[in-house]
Amino acid sequence: MTPETDSHLRHDARYDAIIIGAGVIGCAIAYNLAKRGYRTLNIDQLPAPGYGSTSSSAAVVRTYYSTLDGSALAYEGFFEWKNWPDYVALPEDTDLAKLIETGTLVMRTEGNDHLSRILESADALKIAYEIWDAGQIQAALPGYDLTCFAPVKTMDDDRFGEPAKGEITSAAYFPSGGYVDDPQLAARNLKTAAERAGGQFLFNSKVTRICVENGRAAGAELADGRRVSRPIIVNVAGPHSAKVNALLDDDPGLNIQTRPLKQEVVQVQPPSNLGYTRQGLIVADDDVGVYVKPSGGGHLMIGSMNPPCDDPVLCDPDDFSRDLTDRALTYAYRYSQRLPALGVSQHPAGLADLYDASDDWLPIYDKSDVPGYYMAIGTNGNQFKNAPVAGRMMADLIAYCENGADHDLEPLQFPLKQVRHTINTATFSRKRQPNNRSSFSVIG
C-alpha cells in the first residue's frame, strides 16, 4: 500500500484538534469533529488509515453486551453500519465497506448465567432476538455437538476434551448482526469523509511528547522535531494508548488503566459435508471459550472469548511477534469439540495482533485531568462495531467540555438517534471503578 503523508504540514502548524491515531475510531472522531467545523489533524506512525489493529479486527457487528449502555451503543452502531453510505456521505462511485448481515448466535450456558444480563438489556432496548432450542441450533449448525465441556481448558490440561455434565439446551439468536467485510476500507472511508469536511492526516509520523502549557494541553512534538500546536489533543492510539498517555507532561488521572494484549485468531476450513443452512452465522460459545465468524473462501475464523485459563499476554506494541502460537491451535481444537469432523492443521493459518484492553474490558471515552486532553482508549476487541457512534459521542463530549461544562461533575448525556436510549457517558469514565457487570472479556 502506498504510504500517505501530508508534505504541506508546516512547522508549528496550528489546528483546532490533534488526534493521535488513524484507526477506525480515530478517523470517526476526525470526521465528526470536522463536520462541526474543527480543523483536525490525525497523526499516525503507520503508513495509512486502519493499518494497525483495525486491519486485524474481526469486524463483528453485534448487539449484545453485558451492560445496558454497551448494548445501546452497539445497537446504534448496527444501524450506522447498515446505513454506511448515508453515514459517510461519499460520492456514489466510492468503494465502500459493507455490512454482511448474518445474525449472531450466542450459546446460553451456566458460565454466562444463561445470558440473563444480556437479554435484560435487549428487552429494555427492544433489540430483537429469538431463543432457539437444541433442535434449532443443530438445524442451523449441522453436526454441532451440544455436550457441555466447561470449565474451558487449555490443551496441556489432562482433562481437555472430557465432557462435563449436561448439554447446551438453548441459544439466543440476534438477527441484527454480522460483520464488516473490510475493516481497513471502513477506516479509509472515514478518512476520506473527514478530508471532505476539512480534516487532514499525517502518516509515518510519531508523537514523542504532548505539551502542557498554562495548565492545559498545548500541542504535540514529533520525532522529526516539528511541533503541532493546538489545545485539544485526543488519544486514540489503540495498543499504543498507554504509551501515548505517558508522553503527557502531566498525569491524565486514570483510575482505569489500559494495556496491550496479544490476541490470536486461527482460520480453518469447515467440513464440506456439513452443508450449513445459515452461511456465515456468527457463533459465540462460552462453554468452549471461542467465537466463530466466516471469512473469505468459506473459511471460519476462531478466536478466544478470554476464559480465565487463557492468561493475558502483555506485549510491547513496538516489539512483539505476529506469529501464531499453540494458543491459536488450542482455539481450533476447542471448536473441534463442537464439530468433531473439523480438520485442524498442526500448522494453522491466521493472524495475531494486539488489543488495547482496559481493566474491565470496557472502553474509556472521556476527558482527562488535563484540560484539552481527551481519550478514546481501551477500545480494541469489542469497539470496532461502535466506531461510528463513538465518533459522534466523542465530538459531542469535546464540544461539551470546551464550552465550559464540568463533565466530571455533570457527565454528558448522549441521546442516540436510532435507539430510544440516552447514554450516561459516566459509564465510560476514566474515574470509574471496574464495572462488575462487565464480562471482563472480549464480550464487554
Q: What is the tens place of the pLDDT at every residue in 231-268? A: 899 999 999 999 999 999 999 999 999 999 999 999 98
Q: What is the mean pLDDT of the chain?
A: 93
- 265 CB contacts (<8 Å, ≥6 apart)? 56, 58, 301, 302, 303, 328, 331, 350, 351, 352
Supply the pLDDT for residue 275: 55
Quote the percentage of the chain above a pLDDT of 90.
86
Q: Give per-residue pLDDT as tens, 176-196.
A: 999 999 999 999 999 999 999
pLDDT at residue 235 in the model: 98
Span 151-160, average pLDDT:
94
pLDDT recorded at residue 271: 75
- Number of neighbouring beta carbons within 10 Å of residue 37: 9
Please give the CATH number for the structural domain made up of 103-176+258-358.
Answer: 3.30.9.10
Q: For 13-31, what is the mean pLDDT?
A: 94
Q: Pick from 15, 88, 97: which is nearest to 392 by CA? A: 88
The domain limits of the chain are: 17-73+182-257+360-428, 103-176+258-358
Cα gap 35→20, rounded to integer Å:
18
Dihedrals φ, ψ of 340, to 5°?
-55, -25
Residue in 235, 159, 216, 222 with CA at minimum distance from that of residue 394: 235
Looking at residue 14, the DSSP 8-state letter turns out to be: B
**pTM for this predicted structure:** 0.95
Average pLDDT over residues 294-322: 91
DSSP structure class, residue 369? S
| CA 96 to chain centroid | 19
How far is it, in rounded angstroms, from Cα 244 to Cα 231?
A: 16
**pLDDT tens by residue, 58-108:** 999 999 999 999 999 999 999 999 999 999 999 999 999 999 999 999 999
Phi, psi (rounded to 5 degrees) for 17: -150, 135
Residue 133 CB: number of other CB atoms within 10 A?
11
Q: With beta carbons less than 8 A apart as the criterion, state whether 5 and 203 touch.
A: yes
pLDDT at 344 over 90: no
The whole-number pLDDT of residue 9 equals 54
- Read off the pLDDT of each residue in 289-312 and give the average, rounded to a whole number: 90
pLDDT at 278 over 50: no
Helix 24-35 and helix 387-402: axis angle, to 10°? 50
Nearest to 131 by CA among 113, 148, 119, 149: 119
Residue 227 parent element (H or E)? strand 227-229
How high is the pLDDT of residue 277? Answer: 43
Residue type, 188: R
**Nearest to residue 115, comparing CAs of 156, 41, 171?**
171
- CATH code for 17-73+182-257+360-428? 3.50.50.60
